[in-house]
Amino acid sequence: MATVELRFAAKPAHVRTARQVAVTLARRVNLGTPALDAVRLAVGEACGLVVALQQETHPDEPVVVTFDDTKGLSIDVCGAVELESAEGIAAVDVLAAAVEPVVDELPVGASLAVVSALVPRLDVVTSADGVTMSMRWPAEASAHA
Amino acid sequence: MDLTLSTRSEDGRTVVEVAGEIDVYTAPKLREQLAELVDSGRYDLVIDMSGVEFLDSTGLGVLVGGLKRVRMHDGSLRLVCTQERILKIFRITGLTKVFPIHASVADAIATDST
């Protein structure tokens, strides 16, 4: 069972709240400073990605983040994202996107590229109900940067 | 902490001092500021991120967008950043190859005077 559950409207303003809860719990399980920074950024990216995708199609559905700190730290970010766009979430080559001559910012897949680089164990599960990004930091994760 | 921005001119460059958290919520404010500067003809920017506590990929995207805009006018965009936790996201995305990153504003301005 999740030890903490956070449910918020799919709005960018609330992503910070999710980061703060994540960092507080990471401190509680003594993850160590590098992992703590990774937790903060990974949760921010995952929630930001879900909010961005959800705002288009399901703005009234909440984003749900569940935290389990019983064995290391496990964080699930769930959103009501259309299966088609959920399946389309793929990590992009951020560097390649950045050097494209077209004046544009980074695609949403940049978030996933960052999350993948930060999280020791990441599972992205898509279903008809939406997407769940599961991130796991084992208790000894302080060794992970 | 919210995002605060202040802009000044120094040796022909425009220094944008950024403090607080640049994330999916606050990044639009920075995007607006950079677009305004470029629209008003300021193409040599130094973004001083010494006071930044958090930066996510949305914020990176805004910086990338700013860089592309100034380059269209043969301008430059340099970053000032020394915090390890902020530099990390540039490193894992490979963007250290795209942005000149300096340890101080003085260093950024000196390097820029070509």
Beta bridge partners of B21: B54
3-state secondary structure of A58: coil
Top pLDDT among A94 and B40 is at: B40
Give B73-90 pLDDT, tens digit per residue: 999 999 999 999 999 999
The distance of B22 to chain A (nearest Cα, Å) reads 10
Helix, strand, coil shares, percent, chain A, to 5: 45, 25, 30
Upper half-sphere CA count for residue B68 (Cβ side, 13 Å): 17
CA distance to B7, B40, B90, per residue, from A37 (Å): 29, 37, 14
Angle between helices B57-72 and A33-57 (to 10 degrees): 80
Which residues of chain A make contact with B89, given a CB cutoff of 8 A? 41, 114
H or E stretch covering B70: helix B57-72
Structure tokens at A44: 């921010």
pLDDT at position B112 is: 56
pLDDT above 70 for B51? yes
CB-based contact B45:B8 (threshold 8 Å): no
Other C-beta atoms lying within 10 Å of the C-beta of residue B36: 11
> Residue A19: enclosing H or E segment and its boundaries?
helix A15-28
What's the complex ipTM?
0.91
Interface with B, mutate which of A95, A106, A144 (most B CBs under 10 A): A106
Identify the pLDDT of residue A109: 85
Beta strand residue intervals within chain A, DSSP E: 4-9, 62-68, 73-79, 121-127, 130-137
Least CA distance to B28: which residue of chain A?
A12
Q: Strand, coil or helix: what is B114?
A: coil
